[in-house]
Structure 1
Amino acid sequence: MEALFYVVPLLMIGAAVFTLTRVLGRAREVRGAWGSGLTAEARCLRTYTSTSGGGETTVSTTLHHVYEFTTRDGRSVRFEESNGPATVVEGDIVTVYYTPQRPERATAHAPARGKLAAESGCLLAFLGVFITGCVIFMVVVHLSFSAADAFFP
């Protein structure tokens, strides 16, 4: 029974760290694409939405775009990006930013370094507080079980 009070918070910490590394990794990719100086004209091939939640939770809708462009060396690249502008529809031409090493990690988001830093910083702060809360919970539980063992051997 005691293990449950350690395993569940550790799983939650693991999920938070995984989320943090994914989001910060994507932010680093986007920042690199903006800083590379390489751009191309891309065509929006498809737009679609995905939903999550429902029942007793709030429904969330995410807009996805599928783009295709040709790199400077003539390679055709197709990529998908979420949370793009709702004004871009199938057939539209947009400017994409990419790195020569990984053009499939391109972005059609216009450069906004301050916004990206603010989003990443807020997420980092939130998940840091969440992880700290999990660790404090585990310490308090450990101390509670230690004190109970001392009084009831």
Structure 2
Amino acid sequence: MFHVNHKLRFSDGRIIADFIANAVGLPFLAPYLPHYGDGRSFKKGVNFAVGGATALNDDFFDKKGIKLVAKNISLDVQLKWFKEFLPLMCSSKEGSTMCMEPSRYVQWDGVHLTEAAYRNIATGLLGGKYTNPPFTETCSLLEPIGNLE
């Protein structure tokens, strides 16, 4: 999936969210830009990041006489995409639905975490994926919980 010889790319294609998803066994987030409006499902999340994007919009660079090599997708643009996308995930538009399987997906509606998300977080914190040593080794109150995974 990720190429060793990357050409015209800022990285091998992965972003921080991909590394986190990989570490906890979740699928990678679908990119928003090339798939918006094509019927693709974003039930498992969405990635608004664009390689080479800046926090500042084009006006800033134009006023300073700075020519950007690539098209600038500023933070303002990415926030606009998020605001357009949010109603689709919050069931405020006709035809949109909330997550009906909270044990399988990590978000109810694109904003609120589900049982699956909290289970992954708790397992990581208590079982040691995110703590060293694991809480279960340092806190005798947690021993009755048993095997977390």
TM-score range normalised by the length of the shorter chain: under 0.3
Structure 1 or 2, whichever has the larger Rg, is 1
TM-score normalised by structure 1 residue count: 0.24
More helix, by proportion: 1
Please, what TM-score do these two structures have when normalized by structure 2? 0.25
